Amino acid sequence: MYTLTDLIAPLGLARWQQADCWPGAVIDGIAHYPSTPSRQLQSPIDAQDHGKLLPASAVEVRAAVGCAMVAFETWREVPAPRRGELVRRIGEAVRNHKTLLAQLITLETGKIGSEAEGEVQEWIDVCDYAAGLSRQLHGLTIASERPQHRLLEQWHPLGVVGVISAFNFPVAVWAWNAMLALVCGDAVVWKPSEKTPLSALAATALVLDALRDFDGAPSGLIQLVQGDASVGEYLAGDRHVSLISATGSVAMGRAVAQHAAARLGRSLLELGGNNAAIVTPSADLELATRAIVFSAAGTCGQRCTSLRRLFVHEDIADALQEKLITAYQHLSIGDPRLPATLVGPLIDEAAMKRMHAALTRAEIEGGRILIGGGQVRAGGNIPDGGCYVRPALLAMPEQTDVVHEETFAPLLYLMRYARLSDAIALNNAVSQGLSSAIFTTDLREAGAFIGPAGSDCGLANVNVGTSGAEIGGAFGGEKDTGGGRESGSDAWKHYMRRATNTLNDGHALPLAQGVRFG
Ligand code: UN1
């Protein structure tokens, strides 16, 4: 079984390890070891010691932003397809390190190998997408009301983009932002989760190596500052950061948005979800069961897209409940490095405490645990030192207070409904609005769910679970989820500034709206 020691040299991390310390900042390619109180790192799998992180302070954040500004001034002049070539090469480097990087992600997050590889694949996919996009950063021409005038719309590089990312996707979410920002001509300052600093260092090492071998790309394009929430707040509050893109909890997003708003800066938020699925009487129950179990128990319930609420029509509720209980009985829980494991550990003890608190509240609010919920003790495939839990299914009498909250753990609340319109209303009744799904073979039901009076979420799927979105679509959600859209579709526009140009190629100076002056 691999450990961190096996990955340090092949992932290019050895250059930054000093005794057992890791740098809290990499600025212009140079590691910084601030003299701040260190943070002890350990794997959620088995509490294996990963060394110490020396978190960045306000000084490093300011320096990183300053260097990114300088890099931006060169990079914005490089033709976009050439910028795309850099991102294509980054994608090649990631392809060549896919398994190793996935193993590091498994060690830091506890997610299983297949899901960790899927995360790295998201980075590769977004590189391919961004490389193609670099030849399609198109504007419009618009008919002018004046003779011999033209209106043009151009998209220009924006500036320094700050990226705050969460522990559960320690590289993919940054990559959605950073790879697009690079082809858009921006420089990036990244503040990853304090729980996954080594994945961030490894990703930075891969990009810096690609930059070093690339003619015309300044090393300051990618900056890394690590630490707790204060580091993110320094970044969000820095007026030289043109866009702050933040993924994480609603509470974090509110703080970041306020720091950015105080200086009228732009923010792009992808925050918590409390995702629901509706299963109607016409649904293919085999397909629905597989999708529900992956969405609810996969990644140990620690995706922002994880399924947390299930509305099942009363006619099929008993049948589906039985299938789900059987599937949950067969979920193999354990060390995520073992190929047969489907559910690894929670990220830490605090997460486990929150899960147990939610279960207790659910029972007080009338819920009944159908299966799971307990901690799995060490032994066999369960290493000592990790927080392993059995994914839980609960029958709830209605959508009570605890169901309205996002608990970042494998908890699925089952509720019964009689009318589809009531189920859709319940789907929409929570404050979050990220992902949702309907399982049906009835075209009218599907249409109602994805139509204007249907699900109010940013993602609304039919016969597809709530998690595991492809990178080609715009990713994000409404209400407390923050309203931002990242990754595919036209999300690239967030990373550029739009300039409207009016050109006069005649000899006269007609004024718009027919105004006469002199
Ligand atoms: C997240 O949990 O923050 O759709 C991102 C998904 C993944 C990304 C999740 N592609 O589940």
pLDDT of residue 51: 97
| CB-CB neighbours of 388 under 10 Å | 24
Average pLDDT of the residues in 83-111: 98
pLDDT the model gives residue 36: 82
Residue 315 has a pLDDT of 98
Beta-carbon neighbour count of residue 276 at 10 Å? 29
Query: Is-catalytic flag, 398?
Result: no
Closest CA to 245 of 489, 483, 499, 488: 483
Which CATH number does 275-471 carry? Answer: 3.40.309.10
Nearest to 280 by CA among 443, 114, 156, 39: 443
Catalytic residue, chosen from 304, 387, 445, 486, is 304
Q: What ligand 1 atom has the least distance to the C-alpha of 467?
A: 11
Quick one: tokens of 265?
A: 């800066």
Ligand 1 pocket at CB < 6 A: 122, 166, 168-169, 173, 247, 303-305, 467-469
Candidate from 247, 432, 434, 467 with most ligand 1 atoms within 8 A of CB, to mutate: 467
Helix spans in 134-227 (H): 172-183, 197-212
Query: Could you give the CA distance from residue 399 to residue 403 in angstroms, rounded to a whole number?
Result: 6
Confidence of residue 101 (pLDDT cuts 50, 70, 90): very high
* 288-309 mean pLDDT: 98
| Number of C-beta neighbours around residue 250 at 10 A | 19
- Report the pLDDT value the prediction gives residue 468, as an integer from 0 to 100: 97
Q: How many Å lie between the centroid of ligand 1 and the Cα of residue 285? A: 24
CATH, range 4-271+482-498: 3.40.605.10
468, burial (CB in 10 Å: exposed 0-12, middle 13-18, buried 19+):
middle
Q: Which of 409, 406, 304 is nearest to 346 (CA)?
A: 409
| pLDDT over 90 at 204, yes or no | yes
Q: Region 29-40: what's the mean pLDDT?
A: 94
Cβ 41 vs Cβ 198: under 8 Å: yes
Q: How far apart are CA 126 and CA 470, in angstroms?
A: 10
Q: Is the distance from CB of 85 to CB of 179 less than 8 angstroms?
A: no
Buried b (16+ CB within 10 A) or exposed e, 357-381: ebbebbeebebeebbbbeebeeeee
Give percent of the chain above pLDDT 90.
99
pLDDT digits (tens, 9 = 90+) for 108-137: 999 999 999 999 999 999 999 999 999 999
Residue owning the nearest CA to atom 7 of ligand 1:
468
- 74 — phi, psi (to 5°)? -80, -45
- Centre of ligand 1 from the C-alpha of residue 172, in Å: 8
Helix (H, G, I), strand (E, B) or coil at 136: coil
How many CB atoms neighbour CB 498 within 10 A? 12
Find the catalytic residue in 117, 270, 406, 445: 270
Neighbours of 180 (CB within 10 A): 28
User: Could you write out the DSSP letters of every residue in 430-479?
Assistant: SSEESEEEEE-S-HHHHHHHHSTTS--SSEEEESS-SS---TTSEE--EE
331-367: pLDDT as tens digits:
999 999 999 999 999 999 999 999 999 999 999 999 9
Give CA–CA dist 227/54, Å, rounded.
Answer: 8
Asked whether 362 and 396 are in contact (CB, 8 A), the reply is: yes
Question: Left, alpha or beta for 248 (phi > 0: left; psi -120 to 50: alpha)?
Answer: left
Extract the tokens encoding 386: 């990790």
Instruction: Taking residues 423-442, report their average pLDDT.
Output: 98
CA distances to 36, 291, 324, 331, 375 from 327, rounded to whole Å, are 47, 11, 5, 7, 18
Q: How does strand 21-27 pair with strand 39-42? A: unpaired
Task: Check whether 207 has a pLDDT greater than 90.
Answer: yes
Three-state SS for 335-395 is CCCCCCCCECCECCHHHHHHHHHHHHHHHHCCCEEEECCCECCCECCECCCCECECCEEEE
37, containing H or E segment: none
Determine the residue type at 371. I
Instruction: For residue 166, report the distance from its CA to the centre of ligand 1, in Å.
Output: 11
What is the rounded average pLDDT of the residues 275-303?
98
Atom index in ligand 1 nearest the CA of residue 304 equals 2
**Mean pLDDT value across residues 50-75:** 97
pLDDT at residue 191 above 90? yes
Angle between helices 197-212 and 172-183 (to 10 degrees): 30
User: What is the position in ligand 1's atom list of the atom closest to the CA of 302?
Assistant: 2
Ligand 1, atom 3, residue with closest C-alpha = 304
293 Cα: distance to centroid of ligand 1 (angstroms): 16
For residue 375, pLDDT beyond 90: yes
Going from N- to C-terminal start, the domains of the chain cover 4-271+482-498, 275-471
Q: Which atom of ligand 1 lies nearest, measured to the CA of 122? A: 10
Is the per-residue pLDDT at 431 higher than 90? yes
Under 8 Å between Cβ of 344 and 303: no
Indicate the helix (H) or strand (E) that contains 53.
strand 49-55
Note the maximum CA span of the chain.
90
Residue 219 is predicted with a pLDDT of 84
**pLDDT averaged over every residue in the chain:** 97
Confidence of residue 311 (pLDDT cuts 50, 70, 90): very high
Angle at which helices 197-212 and 80-96 pack, to 10 degrees? 120
Radius of gyration of the chain (CA): 24
| 457 flagged as catalytic | no
Angle at 263 between CA 259 and CA 267, to 5 degrees: 60
Q: What is the pLDDT of residues 212-221, one digit of tens each?
A: 999 999 989 9
Cβ-contact 182, 174 below 8 angstroms: no
Question: Helix (H, G, I), strand (E, B), or coil: what is residue 228?
Answer: coil
How many Å lie between the centroid of ligand 1 and the Cα of residue 223? 23
